[in-house]
Chain A
Amino acid sequence: MRQRVTRALRLLLEASVAVVVTLAVLVALSHVFVPKNNQVEFGQHEARANGVRGELADTVDVLFLGDSEAYTSFSPLQLWGERGITSYVVGTSAQKLCLTRSLLERALERQSPRVVVLETDCLFRAFSVGEAMACAVQDVLPVFEYHDRWKSLRPEDVLGQVQSTWVDDAKGHVAREGVEPADDSAYMAPTDELAELPPMNHAYLEGIAQACERSGARLVLVSTPSTKNWNMARHNRTEQLASELGLDYVDLNVGKSRVDIDWSADTYDAGDHLNVSGARKVTAAVGGLLSGRYGMPDHRGDDAYASWDEAYERSGQGA
């Protein structure tokens, strides 16, 4: 009996040492494999969205989160030009809420925004437990996300520190030219139905709201216009969700916040996403909301924000 206990304790000790050593090596490898700058050339994934980490600390007042609806609809440089609001779109294609939360937490390490706008299309995108686990593990051990960098590792990757110096010129916005008219005959047809929310999304939205609260930011849900991705059932569900969590909700598709989108001219892919003209209308409406309801400050003329003027000039929007 005593021999058995001794053997079991020895195996437990072996296993514990093995787990600790493995974790230590994974932490060390994570340090080596994580990109040392937030640019594609350094191996950064989703560089455009991660460009927010290159902004000067605590200079971004509004963060926009979400999928392609977010980065095609919100234009930070237009917001700057019209109202002097500093913002950044942390948007990625087909973003799922588990990634939204990771990107938000990474952005909050360096920024203290007053408002975080979550575009609501990603609320209805499902993800698996495995994807959620992968997001969580990659946040702690980046080697799982950047393992493929073994192909391009350089000596400085071993001892170098992470520096984020790059900022996307358009502050995360993607301007889409071109027009493909949409069929809006069934757009926002009235219904009392509630769209189904994927299983884990409620909990993740709560997590995002808590992260915002911890950093002193107000989380606002915004639905941008889309004939393909938005409808009354989703509106109803989002309204209910916002009410449950005590969040502000603005639907730009319907009601008094509705933006007057011309579906024959303001979309580049038949109602899926907005083009430059549609984004201009949406950004103008959101700018009014941010200045009016949330009292966002106007930083134009402040020397500390000169880089925003330069980016605005480079974009040609000031011309």
Chain B
Amino acid sequence: MTSYFTPQFLVLFLPGSALCYQLVPRRARWAVLLAASYAFFWALSGWLAVFVTVSALVIWLTGLALGTEAARRGRELAELGADRRAVRRLWQRRMRLTLAVGVLANLGILVALKYAGFLAGLVRPLGAVMPELPRIGLPIGISFYTMQAVSYLVDVYRGTVAADANPLRLALYLTFFPQIMEGPICRYAQTAQALWSGAPVTAKQVFSGSARVLWGLAKRMVVADRLNSLVSPVFADPGSYDGGVIVLAAVLYTLQLYCDFSGTMDCAVGMGRLFGIALPENFSQPFFSRTASEFWRRWHVTLGEWFKDYVFYPVSLSGPVKRLTGAARRALGGRMGPAAASGVALFCVWLANGLWHGAGTQYLLFGMYYFVLIWAGALVEPASQALCARLGVSRSGALWHGFQHVRTLLVVVAGELIFRSASAEQGLELLGRATLDFRADSLLDGTVLAVGMDVADFVVVGVFVVLLLVAGVLRERGVHPLEGAWRRGPVVRWAVCFALLMCVVVFGAYGVGYTPVDPMYASF
């Protein structure tokens, strides 16, 4: 068992876990989920499960310490004649220290396992003598569960949630198997208690969960795995292809990444429903965005919200940045000043975002690419509005919106080209070739059909893209076809599941002649 997309997971592990969950008494259901989650973790990462256990223990102890400190602060504040300001300052300092210990312990594990080699590689050319680092490996989903661990600690510190005295509940919150591989990144308040409560699962949840899993499988196996036949060889040897093929590969990679990641998220959300858990949505029709920042509010939603809550706001509201914002406001005016000062927090967010995706220079470049675009977008916005007003261009018209959609798509595809590259250097080189060496000949003379996908493959992908567009438009209008099928009676609801299953069986890119794509976000 190596992922959600293996027969042993889909046919044995998932139905077996769901059945056990239903059969045991409600008070023991958490144990089924915890055992299944650790079994899944063990199957994918073996003894590295010890690291997620350590993370759970660290947040349990730190959370308890924070809870105790908050209670003592409350008692001291309640005492008559207390210097409330001094008490608050004293306990804020102590709780910040406790929080820092817990957060740094979790981030320390992440950095040691994921980034130590990368950081040593950056330092070595500067003449630093670095010992050879042991190769321990990377526990599955470490970047995801570390973010959940940190969010829990910060939420306890902020008083948003109460410290949890149950270490097993925290372990389940971190390891719940439908979300451990690629997210979504959940908050304690969203899932921890629900996971523990073992609420009964309704037939409707089983149907909508199964249908959602099948929809995710279709995205992943029909589109993402099929596109691998073209994307993989082009990016493995980009020097053999001209700019036209590289542009096509970048477009198809963007589609592949979307279908892989959002398909996995559909499976995660669907699996959650099979256990009565409502996991947060991670995608909201990202390709309908009109700006890069809107794209990131719709793509990997839980990651964006995490950075907003735990990086952007804390940095923006820190003393030095508040002072900088005030100075900028005075120097540049009430609109431009805050926009300019927001660059500090934005830089932190996009540096972290780039590095979160991986220990590689291409990810750093990817983060900086979006930082520059989004920050510059905010800075030029007043000038852009003024220019449009002077030229008489309506910014609420279909033409302007269409321009924005196309512009955002280009920005996203260029970003994914960097993201898929082997290094920042290669990313820049490919961007250069995609623009300066672009030739349409290879797209028209049959060259692309010799890379790995034939006409029939392109037709299947095209039809599925149309299906995705229709589903996206419906969802934008608040219509959820899979959920709606339940109300239309047994024939419709089973027909939907049957159609999705047959689509996967017949048009899925599996078996002889296909190499399924590795779950891309699982390595992050």
Chain A residues close to B by CB (< 8 Å): 7, 11, 14, 17-18, 21-22, 25-26, 29, 45, 128-130, 133-134, 137, 143-145, 147-148, 150-151
Q: Tell me which of A14, A128, A148 has the highest count of chain B C-beta atoms within 10 A of its own C-beta.
A: A148
CA distance A129 to B454 in the complex (A): 32
Interface positions of B from 1 to 39, Cβ below 8 Å from A: 1, 6-9, 11-12
Q: In the complex, what residues of A have CB within 8 A of residue B392's CB?
A: none
Which chain A positions have C-beta within 8 A of B8?
128-130, 133
Cα–Cα, bound, A134→B502 (Å): 17
Whether the pair A150, B507 counts as a contact (CB closer than 8 A) is: yes
Q: Indicate if the CB atoms of B498 and A147 lie closer than 8 Å.
A: no
Q: Which 3 A-B pairs have the closest CB atoms?
A: A130-B7, A130-B8, A18-B494
- Nearest neighbor of A21 in chain B, beta-carbon distance: B498
Given A11-B203, A45-B512: A147 and B7 interface contact (C-beta under 8 Å): no
Q: Which of A17, A26, A133, A150 sits near B7, CB closer than 8 Å?
A: A133
A22 neighbours in B (Cβ, 8 Å): 498, 501
**Size band of the interface chain B makes with A:** 20 to 34
| 9 contacting pairs across A/B (C-beta < 8 A) | A21-B498, A25-B498, A130-B7, A130-B8, A130-B9, A145-B511, A147-B505, A148-B512, A151-B456
A129-B8, A130-B6 known; A147 and B508 CB under 8 Å? yes
B12 touches A129 (CB 8 A): yes
Please, how many angstroms separate the alpha-carbon atoms of A196 and B510 in the complex? 31
Query: Given A18-B498, A145-B512, A151-B454, are A133 and B11 neighbors across the interface (CB < 8 Å)?
Result: yes
Shortest CB-to-CB span from A198 to chain B, Å, is: 15
Interface SS, A side = helix
Residue of B nearest to A46 (CB): B512
Q: Least Cβ distance of A242 to chain B in Å?
A: 30
Which residues of chain B (491-524) have a CB below 8 Å from chain A? 494, 497-498, 501-502, 505-508, 510-514
- Whether A148 pairs with B7 at a CB distance below 8 angstroms is no
Residues of B contacting A133 with CB < 8 Å? 7-8, 11-12
CB-CB under 8 A from B456, the residues of chain A are 150-151
User: In the assembled complex, how far is the CB of residue A120 from the closest CB belonging to chain B, in whole angstroms?
Assistant: 26
Partner of A143, one of B12, B506, B512: B506
A143 vs chain B, min Cβ distance (A): 6
For the complex, give the distance between the alpha carbons of A77 and B501 in Å.
46
- Using A147-B506, A147-B510 as known contacts, list a sample of 10 further A-B pairs with CB atoms less than 8 Å apart, ordered by residue number in A: A21-B494, A22-B498, A22-B501, A128-B6, A129-B12, A130-B1, A134-B511, A148-B513, A150-B506, A150-B507
Is B320 located at the chain interface by the 8 A CB criterion?
A: no
- Partner of B511 from A7, A26, A130, A144 at Cβ < 8 Å: A144
In chain A, what residue has the closest Cβ to B498? A22
Chain A residues near B513 (CB-CB < 8 A): 148
What 1/0 flags go to B82-96 for Cβ under 8 Å of A?
000000000000000
A148-B501 contact, Cβ under 8 Å, with A14-B490, A143-B506 = no
Q: How far is the CA of A278 from the CA of B11 in the complex (A)?
A: 45
Measured in the bound complex, the distance between the Cα atoms of B2 and A129 in whole Å is 11
In the complex, what distance in Å separates the CA atom of A36 from the CA atom of B497?
A: 30
**A133 CA / B9 CA spacing, docked (Å):** 11
Min CB–CB distance A29 → chain B (angstroms): 7
Residue of A nearest to B493 (CB): A14
A130: chain B residues at CB < 8 Å are 1, 6-9
